[in-house]
């Protein structure tokens, strides 16, 4: 398996680091992070915007006009607006989703947060999620933020992935282990 990063991943990380450095220098990390989250939400919820931004046949002038209008209407930071215009100029706007995700990871890392994936067999309340997060954060010495999903196929229990560390207490996993043990005998 290759350890080389894809062009799009490497490019996205490079641009997100540049945006992060500009945001740090101008002390606008919170504002730009909020603006990027708003942009991501809009981008993910509107296929028209997604298609327009990622359409390579759009002229640079048309995309610039759109970015100017969008950033003005949403009250985005001037630095973020200029960053988007740079992406259009360099024909890298196609990577805006990956760049945004990478930028948000940098912001999270700067705050000392650790991302984890939590999958449960039933819907957990906000209180339960907060309690799990607090307990893990206390034992890890860092703030844990969850990407939370429900998967009814787990039958019962939950799965937690923190980097390469995985805890799987699901009934589905236990049944799979029993099946393997029975097949070995």
pLDDT tens per residue, range 59-96:
999 999 999 999 999 999 999 999 999 999 999 988 99
Length in residues, the chain: 185
The verdict on 13 and 94 lying in the same domain is yes
* Domain match, 90 and 11 both: yes
Task: Place 53 in a pLDDT band, splitting at 50, 70 and 90.
Answer: confident
User: Same domain, yes or no, for 180 and 93?
Assistant: no
d(CA 175, CA 156): 11
Asked, for residue 119, whether it belongs to a domain, the answer is yes
Domain boundaries, position 148? 112-184
> What CATH number does residue 57 fall under?
1.10.520.20
Domain count, the chain: 2
**Domain shared by 57 and 123, yes or no:** no
Q: Are residues 95 and 122 in the same domain?
A: no
* DSSP-based three-state secondary structure for 80: helix
Query: Is there a single domain that holds both residue 18 and residue 101?
Result: yes
Are the C-beta atoms of residues 135 and 124 closer than 8 Å to each other?
A: no
Of 69, 94, 109, the one marking the end of a domain is 109
pLDDT value at position 82? 96
Examine the domain organization and report whether 20 and 103 are in the same domain. Answer: yes
Angle of CA points 145, 139, 143, to nearest 5°: 25
The predicted pLDDT at position 98 comes to 93
Is 93 found in the same domain as 53?
Answer: yes
Q: Which residues contact 53 (CB under 8 A, 6 or more apart)?
A: 43, 63, 66, 93, 94, 96
Tokens linked to 158? 């939950």
User: Band of the pLDDT at 1, cuts 50, 70, 90?
Assistant: very low
> CB–CB of 100/44 below 8 Å?
no
Domain stop point among 109, 125, 140: 109
Both 60 and 120 in a single domain? Answer: no
Is the same domain home to 39 and 130?
no
């Amino acid at each position: 398996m290759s350890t080389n990063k894809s062009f799009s991943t490497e490019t996205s990380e490079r641009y997100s680091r540049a945006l992060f450095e500009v945001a740090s220098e101008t002390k606008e990390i919170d504002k730009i992070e909020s603006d990027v989250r708003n942009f991501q939400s809009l981008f993910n919820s509107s296929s028209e915007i997604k298609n327009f931004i990622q359409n390579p046949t759009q002229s640079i002038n048309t995309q610039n006009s759109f970015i100017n209008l969008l950033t003005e209407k949403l009250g985005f930071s001037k630095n973020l607006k200029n960053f988007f215009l740079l992406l259009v100029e360099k024909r890298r706007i196609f990577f805006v989703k990956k760049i945004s995700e990478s930028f948000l990871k940098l912001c999270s890392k700067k705050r000392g947060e650790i991302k984890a994936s939590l999958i449960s067999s039933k819907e957990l309340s906000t209180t339960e999620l907060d309690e799990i997060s607090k307990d893990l954060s206390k034992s890890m010495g860092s703030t844990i933020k969850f990407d939370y999903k429900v998967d009814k196929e787990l039958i019962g229990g939950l799965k937690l992935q923190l980097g390469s560390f995985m805890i799987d207490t699901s009934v589905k996993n236990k049944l799979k282990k029993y099946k393997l043990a029975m097949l070995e005998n």
